[in-house]
Amino acid sequence: MCGSDQAIVIKCSKCSSGVLPEDTENNSRLNLPADAIINLDHGDPTMYESYWRKLGNMCTVMFTGYQSLSYFANPKNLCWFLEPKLEEEIKKLHNVVGNATVEGYHIVVGTGSSQLIQAVLYALSDPLNEANPISVVSATPYYSSYSEVTDFVRSGLYKWAGDAHNFDKDGPYIEMVTSPNNPDGVIREPVVNKAQGMLVHDLAYYWPQYTPITGPADYDIMLFTVSKCTGHAGSRIGWALVRDINVARKMVKFIEINTIGVSKEAQQRAAKILEVISDSCSQTVRPPELDNFFEYGQHLLTERWKKLKDLVEFNELFTLPKFPLQYCNFTGDFTEAHPAFAWMKCEEEVDCEKLFRGHKILTRSGKRFGSDPKYVRISMMSRDEEFDLFVQRLSSIHGIANGN
Amino acid sequence: MCGSDQAIVIKCSKCSSGVLPEDTENNSRLNLPADAIINLDHGDPTMYESYWRKLGNMCTVMFTGYQSLSYFANPKNLCWFLEPKLEEEIKKLHNVVGNATVEGYHIVVGTGSSQLIQAVLYALSDPLNEANPISVVSATPYYSSYSEVTDFVRSGLYKWAGDAHNFDKDGPYIEMVTSPNNPDGVIREPVVNKAQGMLVHDLAYYWPQYTPITGPADYDIMLFTVSKCTGHAGSRIGWALVRDINVARKMVKFIEINTIGVSKEAQQRAAKILEVISDSCSQTVRPPELDNFFEYGQHLLTERWKKLKDLVEFNELFTLPKFPLQYCNFTGDFTEAHPAFAWMKCEEEVDCEKLFRGHKILTRSGKRFGSDPKYVRISMMSRDEEFDLFVQRLSSIHGIANGN
């Protein structure tokens, strides 16, 4: 319909640091006071800022005033608001990383994966069966937002039914399979396994920095998000790979009604970011100053997990999950998972979230994940300064026997 | 929490046309064949592209790879995902135009005004009264999306109850007051006027290019959108001015669950665009090459309405609404409204949408607005080429008596 919505996503090395406000150089230094509250409740992926800062203007994007006025990005596409360049870069990245099959899939872009989850529930539910909303389940510990996202407007189409292990109703249901799992990093399979089940694979963390890539996923519906892949949570860009065209079509309808599409600026910037990380993985294309993005992330998380494990090993109060060594097709090495969250257990009968709060560390209680208050989820994706302060404080927390 | 999310919104006059792909110069020329389908169904505001194109790089924004990674834009603000610069520019623009009071209001940003409408319904409904979802009404002809947005997930919190003129239930209700109205451009007041009514003023079109500005609106809840104000529909940015802090807080909660905030890129770009149009209205700040944005838009719409009225005056088949001359505080002139849509009536017993479709003109049927199929809504905001082709075809459509 209109050519003006094509991405103008360009490197602009000429207008580099000279035009950037000086104070941006200091943005990543929080200069936290020693008694600062450390918020590790959210999974805010600010640890990646150091990588992107090193790149300077290598992946700068520009928008003139006259770009992307229209609602439409690609009127002929099923997903008419999806920027063609983003579609291309999503496909390329999956092929480079080898974590998902894209051939034969429809891509639906969303305002983050939260919107895509709602779009999936809408697409898989039966509008003619209003008396009986479809059950949505996930195995505990499950991502704390699933219940809230499913029930917040009390939809008559779908309803949260809790822990998949306890689900025994007949008829259709939707099971959210999060793999690696949020909060505990475990690789998951569906647990209900009944005939009328529909599976949604939330693969937000199936990237090499978090977990070994054991092969391309090829499930019916797979969800990904830029937030956890590259760290650009502020952009609110997620995508779904959907096999069935009718499901994809209904998801697009949901997003059309909910927000009339997805920000073009965010999509075009995400396309550039994905392009750069694909390039960073290539021996032939990669400029010398560009580290492999996933190796960089993996390295950072490996270091952090080592610090945390070393501490917890000598602390009788806490335990952490253990992960098997697995061969990663992407790195060509045997490696453990280094999840985005630490799912920490207090071995005494205490409310673990409260315990940490007493030390000015905000975490998310196991209760929020349908689990026990002895557990907390701790983000491993904060900035260095926050992580270091967390580790420092953690080293001073001991069991009741040893004084808390 | 983190300074890195501050807007870097800058003029970059050095890296101007030299780095822009050449084909962008031609984007606004559609080169439509004479028998092309003209889509005037959507209110896609592409007519503004000519204004923005004239500005070249005057309002170009840039994003480096390391900006805006966090979910948070302003963690201390009630609306924690609202970019401070956007908040500032929204307030400035309302003060410059004089179309809304901002003092004493909370600003909530949304992914377009569709999301804000849902956030308002969520905020005004009573979660404890699930058996009895609150009725949502609007006077016919009402914006066609209201019913769809209210009912698409069959919420137990709120329910579309149709034409406000027919509403006679007791108890709380929500009335959408769209002024100027979409589709017909009329200035509106609430029509139910019962004690427990809650009003939402959708003021998307209360800008000087569409209608005389007769004073600053100061209703409890007012919705605006960048799409219709500046033409940047692709950005998906809207905002609400909300008097009651608890309503604002619940709206923020809705957007948090629905999409975990709003794209930072889109917000920062919108801030720059609003800044430029505020500047364009100022005798002191305005650079000589910058036309007053609202005067430009008003001029364009005045020309188009003149062409359309001249045609319709001599065509016995169609009629258009008439608008009174009113004093506009912004322009300092007496002027008529020049709405974003023409609400056209066929004076014969025909399905008007079908009639236009036969001439390859896509419009939206009156039925979609709770009205009669004798009416259609026609977008006046298309590109020149499309508008001219529409007018040309319209001149050949006559009543049955004269041959159609």
Summarize pLDDT for B121-143 with one digit per residue, the tens: 999 999 988 789 999 999 999 99
Chain A CB contacts of B265 under 8 Å are 234-235, 263, 265-266, 269
pLDDT the model gives residue B60 = 96
Supply the DSSP string of A271-288, one letter for each residue. HHHHHHHHHHT-TTT--T
Tokens standing for B246? 């608890």
55-114 of A, contacting B, C-beta below 8 A: 55-73, 111-112, 114
Which of A12, A52, A259 has its CB closest to that of B111?
A: A259
Residue B3 has pLDDT above 50, yes or no: no
**Minimal CA–CA distance to A135: which of A110, A161, A99, A106?**
A161
3-state secondary structure of A197: strand
Q: Is a pLDDT exceeding 90 seen at residue B368?
A: yes
> According to the model, what pLDDT value does residue B105 have?
98
High-pLDDT (> 70) share of chain A, % = 91
What ipTM describes this predicted complex? 0.92
* pLDDT tens column, A276-297: 999 999 988 888 888 999 999 9
Average of per-residue pLDDT values in chain A: 91
Q: Which residue pairs, CB below 8 angstroms and at least 24 apart, start in B30-33?
A: B30/A2, B30/A3, B30/B383, B30/B385, B30/B386, B31/B385, B32/B385, B32/B386, B32/B389
What domains does chain A contain, in order, with CATH numbers? 31-56+290-402 (3.90.1150.10), 84-280 (3.40.640.10)
Pick the residue with more confidence: A174 or B25? A174
A195 or A29, greater pLDDT? A195
Higher local confidence (pLDDT), A98 or B21: A98
In a mutational test of the B interface, the residue from A263, A274, A382 whose CB has the highest number of chain B CBs within 10 Å is A263
Residue numbers in B near A48 (CB within 8 A): 69
Residue B14 has pLDDT above 90, yes or no: no
Inter-chain residue contact B130 with A154, CB threshold 8 Å: yes
Return the SS3 of A23: helix
**Percentage of the residues of chain A whose pLDDT score is greater than 90:** 83
pLDDT of residue A21: 32
Q: Cα–Cα–Cα angle for B119, B120, B123, nearest 5°?
A: 85
Compute the CA torsion angle B307, B308, B311, B314 (nearest 10 deg).
-130
For B109, phi then psi, to 5°, come to -90, 145
pLDDT tens-place string over residues B163-216: 999 999 999 999 999 999 999 999 999 999 999 999 999 999 999 999 999 999
What pLDDT is stored for residue B371 in this prediction?
Answer: 97
Collapsing DSSP to helix, strand or coil, B60 comes out as coil
Query: What is the average per-residue pLDDT within B58-63?
Result: 95
Query: At A6, is the pLDDT very low, low, confident or very high (cuts 50, 70, 90)?
Result: very low
Q: Say which DSSP state A139 is in.
A: P
Interchain proximity B258–A39, CB inside 8 Å = no
The mean of the pLDDT values for chain B is 91
Residue B217 CA: distances (Å) to CA of B7, B98, B214, B241? 29, 8, 9, 10
* Confidence tier at A27 by pLDDT (50, 70, 90): very low
In Å, the largest CA–CA distance within chain A is 71
Interface list for A 8-27 with B (CB within 8 A): 8, 10, 12, 14-15, 19-21, 23-24, 26-27
CA distance B403 to chain A (A): 32
Q: How far apart are CA B284 and CA B282, in angstroms?
A: 5
Residue B7: pLDDT band with limits 50, 70, 90? very low
Is it the case that residue B146 has pLDDT exceeding 80? Answer: yes
Higher pLDDT, B165 or B30: B165
pLDDT of residue A399: 66
Q: How far is CA A1 from CA A100, A379, A395, B45, B383, in A?
A: 31, 44, 61, 13, 11
